């Protein structure tokens, strides 16, 4: 029987936040009285994230699934891998660093129930450092101008599973989830959510990383029509281990 919700969590070097994230997600859905599966996709972490995830899985049989990729493919491909292993009516994506509080999931659900949207984004009251905030705005501006996204959004999203399945079947070598959603979702909503400072470690998204991602986005836009005409349906990531 399908679960009500799948929570997809791409993981990279977040060993210290994973236990807390799991417990808070469990509490959220217990209060909502909704069934849930939590799918962690370890994007080839170099710390002990995979060991921690296997322990979490052992303590939560039937609730938690863990996938380890064979190399570092990036957040978008790790998320799409989670889509392909989901079995629920709705899918939520959330980062592994606790900057988006799991307790804010209820706001996404309420917005979708009231609006009937295909996708609901949680938009944060942004508290990133100035350099990263500027880089993020720059990236979102270009994604909107190039019609590869909505010009705003985040990795904290709720969508219908049918939509997630549809975009997971449209894999090209380069993957940008916002572009796939932009092509396939008719109705999109946004809701304001809290945003907390990173509790453990440091972000892998520096201004340099965001600039590189923007350049890649521009190049992808130049090639996108050819990519989508010639795309094949094979998955562009390899799984090394399941738990």
Q: Give me the average pLDDT of each 10-residue run along the chain (243 residues).
A: 97 98 98 98 98 98 97 94 96 97 98 97 70 47 52 89 91 73 92 90 58 56 51 65 90
Give the pLDDT score at 131: 44
On whether the CB atoms of residues 116 and 42 are closer than 8 A, the answer is no
Q: Specify the pairing of strand 3-11 against strand 36-42.
A: parallel
Give rounded-to-5 percent helix, strand, coil for the chain. 45, 20, 35
Domain that holds residue 111: 3-242
**Assigned token pair, 191:** 């809701």
**Considering its fold, how many domains does the chain have in total?**
1
CATH no. for residue 188? 3.90.550.10
């Amino acid at each position: 029987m399908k679960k009500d919700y799948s929570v997809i969590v791409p993981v990279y070097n977040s060993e210290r936040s994973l236990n807390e994230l799991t417990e808070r997600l469990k509490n959220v859905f217990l209060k909502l009285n909704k069934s849930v599966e939590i799918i962690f996709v370890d994007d080839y972490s170099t710390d002990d994230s995979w060991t921690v995830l296997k322990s979490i899985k052992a303590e939560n049989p039937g609730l938690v699934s863990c996938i380890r990729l064979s190399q570092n493919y990036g957040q978008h491909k790790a998320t799409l891998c989670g889509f392909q292993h989901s079995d629920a009516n709705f899918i939520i994506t959330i980062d592994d660093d606790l900057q988006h509080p799991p307790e804010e999931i209820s706001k996404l659900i309420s917005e979708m129930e009231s609006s009937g949207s295909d996708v609901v984004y949680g938009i944060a009251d942004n508290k990133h450092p100035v350099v990263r905030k500027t880089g993020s705005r720059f990236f979102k501006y270009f994604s909107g101008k190039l019609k590869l996204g909505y010009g705003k959004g985040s990795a904290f999203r709720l969508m219908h599973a049918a939509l997630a399945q549809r975009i997971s079947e449209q894999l090209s070598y380069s993957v940008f989830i916002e572009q796939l959603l932009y092509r396939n979702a008719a109705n999109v909503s946004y809701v304001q959510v809290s945003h907390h400072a990173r509790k453990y470690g440091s972000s892998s998204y520096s201004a340099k990383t965001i600039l590189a991602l923007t350049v890649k986005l521009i190049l992808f836009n130049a090639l996108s029509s050819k990519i989508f005409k010639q795309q094949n349906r094979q998955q562009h990531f390899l799984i090394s281990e399941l738990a």
